[in-house]
């Protein structure tokens, strides 16, 4: 599981270069910024093993409206 997937799955908040999640009424730092990347902490790696990724939302395409074609206009001779 990637850092982004874990943050979305546990609904973590990004505060002061850290991703903080609430687990069993405790705040746990699951990832932190190192250089220019977010990296899982030890607690984040353990949590990633236990949590399933958040399901991707399914988008439904709108049903196309079927209209009858207008009759062609009669041309004058």
pLDDT tens, position by position, 20-60: 999 889 999 999 999 999 999 999 999 998 887 766 677 78
CA gap 8, 60 in Å, rounded? 22
pLDDT tens, position by position, 59-77: 787 777 777 766 666 776 6
Does any domain span residue 9? yes
Rounded alpha-carbon distances, angstroms, from residue 50 to 35, 41, 74: 27, 15, 71
Does any domain span residue 70? no
Does any domain span residue 66? no
pTM for this prediction: 0.64
Name the domain count of the chain.
1
Does any domain span residue 62? no
Does any domain span residue 58? no
Does any domain span residue 56? no
Domain of 21 in residue numbering reads as 3-50
């Amino acid at each position: 599981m990637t850092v982004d997937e874990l943050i979305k799955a546990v609904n973590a908040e990004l505060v002061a270069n850290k991703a903080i999640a609430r687990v069993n009424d405790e705040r746990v730092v699951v990832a932190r910024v190192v250089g220019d990347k977010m990296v899982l902490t030890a607690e984040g790696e353990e949590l990633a093993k236990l949590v399933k990724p958040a399901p991707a939302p399914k988008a439904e395409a709108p049903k196309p409206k079927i209209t009858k074609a207008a009759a062609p206009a009669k041309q004058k001779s």
